[in-house]
Structure 1
Amino acid sequence: MRIVLIGPPGAGKGTQARILTERLSVPAVSSGDLLRAEIREGTVLGQLAKQHTDAGELVPDEVTTTMVTRRLGEPDAVGGFLLDGFPRTVRQAALLEESLAEGETTLDAVLAFDMPDDEIVQRLTGRRICPGCGTTVHVVFSPPRVPGRCDACGNELTRRADDTEETVLRRLAVYAEQTVPLLRWYADRGLLLRVDAMGTVPEISDRVCAALALTTP
């Protein structure tokens, strides 16, 4: 299956992508991971992208799309893939559609994860990370035994710079402006499947399977 995952920050797309990857035996493709790899390896695309990021500008849609579609042409993605974090705009979606059409393929579904903004703010602002072992906890939903300390290694827990309320609200505003119109674009093509992202990971996974008409494990 060829699936796009769309949703606001903190809605659990990454977790469900990992579950679906194992379930469907297809690769999960993240545009952010591809971009960082191209820059790190110093490729032509990476150098072009770095010029924009160093200047504080968005990487052009054409550059990002080229990175993604080239990855989708690799052998492990021939039978299907999950796209997480791409496309983010209608322009990117149109470029992706054109590229897939050249290879005589199309998307099978677009999963949209729905979650109220206030829940997202609570989830992200309460997240804490251990810089030592990478353990992630939440001050409300999964608090450590000793406040401010990692249960696994005892290091002091920290908060990511982009998990402040101001930053989260700004990211939500960008999502509403740039990505929400994409949901209508895919709905018009009969591809959009909406999933309630509230609840436990297994509950959400069951809803994803039901939306895709997959039997639950």
Structure 2
Amino acid sequence: MRILLVEDDANLADTLAEVLTSQHCVVDIARDGEEGWEKSQADDYNLILLDVMLPKLDGINLCRRLRAHGNNVPILMVTALDMSTDKVQGLDAGADDYLVKPIDPPELMARIRALSRRAQIAEPTVLRWGELQLDPGMHEVSYTGQSVHLTPKEYNILELLLHHGRQVLKRITIVEHVWSLTDPPREDTINATIKSLRNKLKGAGAPHNLIETIHGVGYRLSQLS
């Protein structure tokens, strides 16, 4: 899941990004409302986590602008304002849910899952490729029933590969879907992540060439026998 986090408090933004990343989310951070608007136009997100009190463009007006331009991505507002009138204003602006600070990480993730279910994006069917299985709902990967423990980046790359199968996945596509736009990877970082993913799958019994390299282009899954 790709999330746009619009939050001007750097410490809180980093903390929330760490929580979300640990749950296999890819997070882009915007520090003000105008930057949030620009990022929302430049990329597709599964959810927007939006603070209300923002510089340049506040969260209420950003939410209104998004809805006015036909953007129907789920929006979860996060704010220190806990008056019922503030909540009503946020929901009337087009937000789908409202969470008051301080934020409890388990509650945050529960609300995100609920919004995702409503948008029918959080509970896809189990992905399979031969003996390889990835369960997006449980965030579990296995090969011939043996559990494979992956980092969030490795998991997201594998999920992307499973969605594409034999279609070649370009390196730029991997970067756009797996890494934050504010923290793009170095060339050797992608190579190292793919190598680690291959080794972990091989350790569970998968062939080393399960993930094929198409030199100069990208990667794809090997042909099933």
Q: Shorter-chain TM-score: what band?
A: 0.3 to 0.5
Normalising by structure 2, report the TM-score.
Answer: 0.33
Normalising by structure 1, report the TM-score.
Answer: 0.34
Query: Which structure has more RCO (C-alpha within 8 Å, separation ≥ 6)?
Result: 1
Give 1 or 2: higher strand fraction.
Answer: 2
